[in-house]
Structure 1
Amino acid sequence: MLPRVRASTALASSRSHTFKAFYATIRSLRQPPPDPDDIPPSDNDFIMSILRANPSLRDTRSYLASFGPRPKPPPSAPSADIALPSVSLTPESIPVALEHPKPSPVLASILDPVVKRTALVKVQGPFTDVQLDSIARGLVYLEKLGLVSVIVVENDTLARGDQDERSALAEETMRIVTTLEKQGGRARPVLGAVVRLGPKPGDEEAADPDLEYPEAHTFPSDLVAIRSALRAGEIPVIPPFALDSFCRSVRIDANDVLGALARGMAEAAGLDNSQSDPTADGVPSADVDLTPLRLMIINREGGVPSYARSGYPHLLINLASEYSHIHDTFHEPWHNSNPTALSNLALARMCLAYMPPTSSAVMVSHRSPSSLIANLITNKPALSSSLPHALLQGNRRLTAHTPTLLRRGLPIRVLRTINDIDRPKMNALLEQSFGRTLDQKAFYQRLEQTLDFVIIAGDYVGAAIVTNEPCEGSPVPISYLDKFAVLPSHQGDGTVDFLWVALHDESYGLGHPFSANPNGGKGGVGEGRDLVWRSRANNPVNKWYFERSSGHVRMGSWVLFWCDAEKRLRLEQAARAHAGMSYVEKWEEGRLAQWGDAVQKIPSVWQ
């Protein structure tokens, strides 16, 4: 028995050690290492962050267009006006080249696979060490993808005018630098002021009433410290200091520093491009493009709360048309829960006015650092704002910490009569969007009889045309989406979502408080109607339609889509209490056959 007891004891001990080793392994996977000072971020975490972004083919192409190797310009041919001397060379007379050969463009693109671009980042603390580690890890990942951060530090708990505010901000700056380096990045504190207090000289004469100016400015010569850090591969970290008229360094609002940098860096990049040599042999430059492509506001509260999402954040904001409306619908309790939401909204509006049209801003909580990578690659919100409202409300990805994406955007307006349509611009939009020639006479003759409304985005960069089509067996015509078009140059910049949200608010979403967006239409007042449209079965856009429709049915080479009136669905569900709705309600019987018959009778307007 003794050998058996010993064997059993040894086996139990072995199992105990195995379990402890397994537990230790699992615990080490769930927790950060105890001493990560010299350990860079895991490559596996970096790769998983990219995969979670789930970029589409268009997203990937857009990212590579900004950060991929730039094509080599074609060599310039010698001028025909210059007579070249004819020289006969023998192999013995050819001199030996003593200079070092230049690296090939292919080799250079492999060694330096991305073009470095810049992002303005507001780190709005205070943050704990663990929170700051998470933020720094995300910023280091972004640098690997080619987006180098220019960080401006802010501390909400440090009141203006405190005796030790300068030393406290300097310590916070150094703390962020140390954390970035602990995560494997390289950072440099820029403790001297890089902006000047007050408006830029000349702004009074050339002031644009539609443009918000920061209370600070900067000149290209003031950006030397930032350029030096970027050229050395370091992330500049800047406290919110500015030089006043007496050349004293004083603390100012971090938003004014960011606004001045957005303007100054864009202007400096413009000067760089005008003075650069286009014949650079295709080798990536050691310099960094100062034009800010992203504005990132990292705080503790997350995005801007929305009245349409029960206080959860806005997903995508069109600043050109929604800015005032967000202020008007900002509930009083949110001033306590999200005290800096409106000031950060103003910051995004100010900075994006100076940044390229394709740029975006993101307001994100420290709890969502991985969303920064998704925003860089896709330049889209975490969830599309044009998805059905019920689907968004029940989506577990929509939380209080979901980031808010902000774009400069476009004004949205609704036209009710055909005489209000600018026909040349509409023709150009439709033909470029569909790649076909419009039969203008037949198209506008039909609209004169059936037009309900037209939604226009910007200066005819997008349009949604809705008509009233007669339907046999029904006294009420069907609401038909005749055309939905966006210029190719604006596909992927948020215009599609802006347009569809306005379409929702004017048709099947009408009657709900969250449809009262300022698009020049009915403001959410009225009764919603079912919206019907058709699309070719092989249309690549159908996947997008599937996600936004209530249902669809195949009709030969066509697919019929529809969106149910949301207000009627809400009333029906309330009338049936907790019983839910059946698969086919009485008001649904026969409507697909009626819709299919009406839609098939609509003639084509293409030549």
Structure 2
Amino acid sequence: MLKPVSNKLISTATKSRSAQSFGAFYATVRGFRHEPHRSEDIDIPSNNDFILSVLRSNPSARDAKSYLAHFGARPRPVPVPVHPPPPIHADRHVPRDIQPIVEEPKPSPIVTSILDPVYHRTALVKIQGPFTDRQLESITRGMVYLQKLGLVSVIIVEQDQVPRGEEGEREAILEETTRVVEALEKQGAKTRPVLDAVVRLGPRPGEDPTTASSRVPVPEAHTMPSDLAPIRSALRAGEIPVLSPLALDSFCRSARVDANDVIAALARGMVEAAELDYSQWPAEAMCSKTTVDVDLTPMRLMIISKEGGVPSYARSGLPHLLVNLESEYSYIHDTFQFPWKTTHPTALSNLALAHTCLAYMPSSSSAIMVNHRAPSSLIGHLITNKPAVSSSLPHALLQGNRGLTSNTPTLLRRGLGIEVIRDHANIDKAKMTRLLEQSFGRVLDSDPFYARLKQDIDFVIVAGDYAGAAIVTKESSSVDPSASSIVYLDKFAVLPSHQGDGTVDFLWVALHDETYGLGLPFSVNPNGGREGRGEGKDLVWRSRSNNPINKWYFERSSGHLRMGDWVLFWCDAEKRLKTEEGRRASAGLSYIEEWEHERLALWTSVIPKIPSSWRK
């Protein structure tokens, strides 16, 4: 029999749920407040607008650290006065006209470093028009802001309203390129229009695309290191290169091609050229980023269009927030609805472009598909490398967030494969142990841990080659064997090298789909699990009260209960919770319902008895 819940426990739980509700509301207001719409006819002083864009990105300490790792901080020499003033002795009279020196307040080192980068990197940018002059002004202002932050754009201009093969198309494309150049120069940028082809159609000589790995798409065009001379020259001169979508055919004739072919060829070619540069630099030059000439490696891919992000079946057509291309690419194609082919005709081709480019770009790189109405989001994307809103937040909170609109960008990462394991024998224990010990910074007591896992395993979600894992067990009550087993999140771990690259969100979304999100249409992602089939289950876990990750847990849990040195968290099965919310709408809101007393008693009697997994 279960012990009855004491009044003290219920009171504590009630306060906990009340505090959690207030915390969720506060997080919603704080995290999702968005600026009121500004009319395009109102100009803000450019410097103030730039600084506000940086501040609105609200980078965390980890975000700023990651940004500084890529762009560095400009070393400032200590000023030495040419004629230092003589020392003032206590017994000397100080003339009245000599005023005491008042030190000006110093800005934050992080803000100073962000606003004064030393190490410039490159981004591939597709400007997919047509755009009005006013729209181009907004877009190019964003490009100038990015350059101030250390990210220099290599821009490829596309004009969707100029049909392929039509007479005069080349002139129309070159005219559009000139418009972009002029818009950039009006913003004070130095530009260089590159009106000749820098890529070549077809595979690279000696390369057979049919033998290439299907996991690494081969671009329809290629470029050699020598072809990149105009781009390299522009970047060395501090100029933004602006290219037309032209390529050389087998007869060395310049012809208009799809801009995506040019961008994919540049992504691969610039990465390979940068690797060649690094191999030729002396060892001492590798120790100092300030000695590097121009790093051609693209850090970002930005696709700016009128369509914006990729529509999501899980958000009723609003854009995907974060896409794991490794595991979601095919499924997004399969679930792309017919009406979207009219409203977002190039969404899938741009998705394919991101898939191809990110396959060659560094694993830390990302792509963003953004509407021309939200150029300021590019600032936040550069500094934080995160989506506008976390995709692992509760679905109800995402659905009710007014900040999520058709203009919300889609962030895309190369990502990792997601695998669901249900038999403990299929777990690579050596890799799992390494993951857990590096993530938690403690030594795993392996034998009893894996013995308990063999007996109680529900499932394990593994991201990539054990870059992250979520271990879920079924816990039963020794007092009441007839009670339903608890779906318990025993371990949630991500390697330090993958923290901040989206792996945490990818894992949690998969965990949601396998537990408390079951039975709902937005939980059918093909992660090798149940694909949305079944009834949702409450997910329960505990965390030390001083664990810094608890803030993240508070935002994603339905409720929590403090138990001494521990905090008990849970996520209610969303399908049942939706029914409960409908009933409460007429019956009045109560934080702890009668039916919840029993499960709270079960959880608080079972969870504290779970043994530690770590050596003393």
Residue in structure 2 matched with residue 222 of structure 1 by the alignment: 227
Question: How is 1:410-429 mapped onto 2 (pairs within 5 angstroms)?
Answer: 410-429=416-435
Structure 1 residue aligned with 2:205, among 201, 209, 212? 201
Partners of 1:427 and 1:508 in 2: how far apart?
27
Partners of 1:490 and 1:233 in 2: how far apart?
33
**3-state SS of the aligned residue for 2:284?**
coil
Structure 2 residue aligned with 1:489, among 480, 491, 497? 497
* Pair 1:401-2:401 in alignment: no
Partners of 1:186 and 1:494 in 2: how far apart?
35
Partners of 2:114 and 2:585 in 1: how far apart?
63
Q: CA RMSD in A?
A: 2.1
Q: CA deviation at 1:69?
A: 4.2
Partners of 2:143 and 2:601 in 1: how far apart?
55
**Where does the alignment leave 5 or more consecutive residues of structure 1 unmatched?**
1-27, 72-108
* Pair 1:433-2:472 in alignment: no
Structure 2 residue aligned with 1:321, among 321, 327, 344? 327
Q: CA deviation at 1:574?
A: 4.1
Cα distance per residue 1:237-275 (max 9 Å; x no partner): 000000111111000000000000000000000010011
Q: CA deviation at 1:111?
A: 12
Q: CA deviation at 1:30?
A: 8.1
Contact 2:474 2:485 in 1 (8 A): yes
Q: Which amino acid aligns with 1:455?
A: I
Residue in structure 2 matched with residue 369 of structure 1 by the alignment: 375
Residue in structure 1 matched with residue 262 of structure 2 by the alignment: 257
Partners of 2:541 and 2:589 in 1: how far apart?
24
Q: CA deviation at 1:577?
A: 6.4
Partners of 1:171 and 1:30 in 2: how far apart?
24
Partners of 1:110 and 1:322 in 2: how far apart?
33
* Pair 1:570-2:578 in alignment: yes
Partners of 1:197 and 1:483 in 2: how far apart?
50
Q: Which amino acid aligns with 1:555?
A: M
Contact 1:573 1:580 in 2 (8 A): no
Larger RCO, structures 1/2 (Cα 8 Å, 6+ apart): 2
Q: CA deviation at 1:476?
A: 0.4
Task: After the TM superposition, list the runs of 4 or more consecutive aligned residues in structure 1 that deviate by more than 6 angstroms.
Answer: 109-112
Contact 2:515 2:538 in 1 (8 A): yes
Question: How is 1:86-101 mapped onto 2 (pairs within 5 angstroms)?
Answer: none
Residue in structure 2 matched with residue 301 of structure 1 by the alignment: 307
Query: Cα gap change, 1:214/1:479 in structure 2, threshold over 3 Å: closer, same or farther?
Result: same
* Pair 1:339-2:358 in alignment: no
Cα distance per residue 1:343-380 (max 9 Å; x no partner): 00000000000100000000000011011010000000
Residue in structure 2 matched with residue 245 of structure 1 by the alignment: 250
Residue in structure 2 matched with residue 503 of structure 1 by the alignment: 511
Residue in structure 2 matched with residue 276 of structure 1 by the alignment: 281
Q: CA deviation at 1:31?
A: 4.0
Partners of 2:40 and 2:168 in 1: how far apart?
39
Partners of 2:282 and 2:148 in 1: how far apart?
27
Contact 1:231 1:286 in 2 (8 A): no
**3-state SS of the aligned residue for 1:464?**
strand
Q: Which amino acid aligns with 1:559?
A: V
Query: Cα gap change, 1:29/1:166 in structure 2, threshold over 3 Å: closer, same or farther?
Result: closer
Q: CA deviation at 1:576?
A: 5.7
Q: CA deviation at 1:202?
A: 2.4
* Pair 1:120-2:124 in alignment: yes
Cα distance per residue 1:106-138 (max 9 Å; x no partner): xxx999742010000000000011111110011
Q: CA deviation at 1:591?
A: 2.4
Structure 1 residue aligned with 2:474, among 462, 468, 474? 468
Q: CA deviation at 1:187?
A: 1.0
Contact 2:200 2:221 in 1 (8 A): yes
Q: CA deviation at 1:570?
A: 1.8
Contact 1:70 1:282 in 2 (8 A): no
Query: Cα gap change, 1:417/1:169 in structure 2, threshold over 3 Å: closer, same or farther?
Result: same
* Pair 1:518-2:523 in alignment: no
Q: CA deviation at 1:278?
A: 3.6
**Where does the alignment leave 5 or more consecutive residues of structure 2 unmatched?**
1-37, 76-112
* Pair 1:557-2:532 in alignment: no
Residue in structure 1 matched with residue 58 of structure 2 by the alignment: 54
* Pair 1:291-2:297 in alignment: yes
Cα distance per residue 1:524-561 (max 9 Å; x no partner): 00001110100011111011101100011211111111
Partners of 1:599 and 1:157 in 2: how far apart?
62
Q: Which amino acid aligns with 1:518?
A: P
Query: Cα gap change, 1:68/1:31 in structure 2, threshold over 3 Å: closer, same or farther?
Result: same
Partners of 2:387 and 2:289 in 1: how far apart?
34
Partners of 1:377 and 1:193 in 2: how far apart?
32
Moved more, 571-580 or 382-391: 571-580
Contact 1:443 1:605 in 2 (8 A): yes
Residue in structure 2 matched with residue 106 of structure 1 by the alignment: none
Query: Cα gap change, 1:193/1:591 in structure 2, threshold over 3 Å: closer, same or farther?
Result: same
Q: CA deviation at 1:287?
A: 2.5
**3-state SS of the aligned residue for 2:360?**
coil
Contact 2:444 2:613 in 1 (8 A): yes
TM-score scaled by length of structure 1: 0.86
Q: CA deviation at 1:285?
A: 3.8
* Pair 1:142-2:142 in alignment: no
Partners of 1:593 and 1:60 in 2: how far apart?
43
Contact 1:138 1:369 in 2 (8 A): yes
Question: How is 1:105-184 mapped onto 2 (pairs within 5 angstroms)?
Answer: 113-184=117-188
Cα distance per residue 1:21-66 (max 9 Å; x no partner): xxxxxxx998445xx9xxxx62111111011001110100000000
Q: Which amino acid aligns with 1:115?
A: Y
Contact 2:115 2:149 in 1 (8 A): no
Question: How is 1:376-395 mapped onto 2 (pairs within 5 angstroms)?
Answer: 376-395=382-401
Q: CA deviation at 1:214?
A: 1.3
Partners of 1:570 and 1:557 in 2: how far apart?
32
Residue in structure 1 matched with residue 10 of structure 2 by the alignment: none
Cα distance per residue 1:365-404 (max 9 Å; x no partner): 0011011010000000000000000000011111111000
Partners of 2:206 and 2:41 in 1: how far apart?
55
Contact 1:112 1:284 in 2 (8 A): no
Contact 1:315 1:381 in 2 (8 A): yes
**3-state SS of the aligned residue for 1:267?**
helix
Q: Which amino acid aligns with 1:224?
A: A
* Pair 1:311-2:324 in alignment: no
Contact 2:415 2:503 in 1 (8 A): yes
Partners of 1:255 and 1:110 in 2: how far apart?
31
Q: CA deviation at 1:584?
A: 2.4
TM-score scaled by length of structure 2: 0.84
Q: Which amino acid aligns with 1:161?
A: G
Contact 1:114 1:145 in 2 (8 A): no
Query: Cα gap change, 1:112/1:135 in structure 2, threshold over 3 Å: closer, same or farther?
Result: closer
**3-state SS of the aligned residue for 2:163?**
coil
Q: CA deviation at 1:593?
A: 2.9
Residue in structure 2 matched with residue 94 of structure 1 by the alignment: none
Q: Which amino acid aligns with 2:315?
A: R
Query: Cα gap change, 1:199/1:110 in structure 2, threshold over 3 Å: closer, same or farther?
Result: closer
Partners of 1:153 and 1:60 in 2: how far apart?
31
Larger Rg: 1
Partners of 1:191 and 1:283 in 2: how far apart?
32
Residue in structure 1 matched with residue 21 of structure 2 by the alignment: none
Contact 2:463 2:507 in 1 (8 A): yes
